Amino acid sequence: MPIETVTQEHRPAGVIAAACWRVRAVAVQQGYRLSITCNDGTSGIIDMSRLVASEKAGVYAVLKDESVFNQVSIELGVLTWPNGADLDPEWAHEEIGENKTWSVPD
Read off the pLDDT of residues 31-47 as tens digits, 9 standing for 90 and up. 999 999 999 999 999 99
- List Cβ<8 Å contacts ≥24 apart for 50-57: 50/103, 50/104, 50/105, 50/106, 51/104, 51/105, 51/106, 53/106, 54/106, 56/106, 57/106
Residue 5 has pLDDT above 50, yes or no: no
* pLDDT for position 14: 60
Q: Which CATH architecture has domain 23-101?
A: 2-Layer Sandwich (3.30)
Where do the structural domains in the chain lie, given as residue ranges? 23-101
* pLDDT tens-digit readout, 23-80: 999 999 999 999 999 999 999 999 999 999 999 999 999 999 999 999 999 999 999 9
